[in-house]
Amino acid sequence: DQQVKQNSPSLSVQEGRISILNCDYTNSMFDYFLWYKKYPAEGPTFLISISSIKDKNEDGRFTVFLNKSAKHLSLHIVPSQPGDSAVYFCAASPYSGGGADGLTFGKGTHLIIQP
């Protein structure tokens, strides 16, 4: 049973445009959500996170939106750059304090930025 779902295995976006990556979750105990960027044969790199008490968090070109009632979050990257091409994982955790719980990951979305 996939508790964190990224339904788009891949996404192609033109350079300079907005990239929107989506993530849905089923476990209502999830309270903290993170986005990671990953290249093949490397560990994930943390991008941005959001706690369930917020509906938006912004950091530079990256913005994460959370719709708790819909159990949906999205990552917006604007403007998209060639270096953004990678696999993006959505991850969720039951608690927002202490980092004491393992993350549940989605299957990832391969973002391809076209020049």
Partner 1 sequence: GAVVSQHPSRVICKSGTSVKIECRSLDFQATTMFWYRQFPKQSLMLMATSNEGSKATYEQGVEKDKFLINHASLTLSTLTVTSAHPEDSSFYICSAAQEETQYFGPGTRLLVL
Q: Where does this chain bind partner 1 (CB under 8 A)?
A: 32, 34, 36, 41-46, 49, 51, 89, 93, 95-108
CB count within 10 Å of CB 22 equals: 17
The distance of closest approach from Cβ of residue 60 to partner 1 in the complex, given in angstroms and rounded to an integer, is 16
User: Judged by CB, which is closer to partner 1: 41, or 70?
Assistant: 41
Pairing outcome for strands 109-114 and 86-93: antiparallel
Smallest gap from Cβ 50 to partner 1, in A, equals: 10
**How are beta strands 62-67 and 72-77 bridged, if at all?**
antiparallel
Closest separation between CB of residue 15 and partner 1, Å? 26
Among 6, 66, 57, which Cα is nearest to 30's? 66
